[in-house]
Amino acid sequence: MKNLIRFFAISICVLTFISCDNDNDSNDGPNVTTFTANLSGENEVPANSSAAKGTATLTFNNTTKAFTINVTHNLTTAVAGHIHMGAAGTNGAVIFPFTSAASPITFTSVALTTAQEADLKANLNYVNLHSTAFAGGEIRGQLIKGATTGGGK
């Protein structure tokens, strides 16, 4: 009987520890998926000879279905910036226009539809920045899925 009580006591302690360890509380942060892109003229379709460069980091919240993106670049005449729908090597429609093209760019989306989320997670979105010299786009980078963090999948 004493062994049975010990077993239950130890089991309760272990289960309590495990359940506390996996909590997705505010200290652990939300369940997010990160995407990154390296922007260059070589990635444009068609490619161009621009020496400008940039980076983008998009953080998608799997609970709220919204994302925040931060883009930095060294374009001196940036006139527009967007996230487009399209696979690497293809051009696609603008789905999220940025309100400013000045670096650094920060943009937060509304909740994505199921289709938009699927496209994002399939790496079918890219960042494109336009300038006066390259009206069709000077630098571009495909948003590539990185790590999922937080509590859950």
> Is residue 46 reached through a cis peptide bond, with omega within 30 degrees of 0 on the bond before it?
yes
43-52 mean pLDDT: 97
The alpha carbon of 52 is separated from its chain's Cα centroid by a whole number of angstroms, namely 22
- Give me the chain's average pLDDT, please: 84
Q: Which helix (H) or strand (E) holds 94?
A: strand 94-97
102-113 mean pLDDT: 98
Weakest-pLDDT range from 15-29, 105-119, 123-137: 15-29
Task: Indicate the domain borders of the chain.
Answer: 32-148
Q: Which helix (H) or strand (E) holds 28?
A: none
How many other CB atoms are there within 10 angstroms of residue 16's CB atom? 10
- Global pTM? 0.77
CATH, range 32-148: 2.60.40
Contact predicate 143/120, CB 8 Å: yes
Looking at residue 30, its pLDDT comes to 66
Place of tokens 């990154």: 36
Q: Which helix (H) or strand (E) holds 87?
A: none
| Cα distance between residue 69 and residue 34, in whole Å | 10
Phi–psi pair at 61, nearest 5 degrees: -90, 110
Weakest-pLDDT range from 15-19, 33-37, 131-135: 15-19
* Residue type, position 59, single letter: T
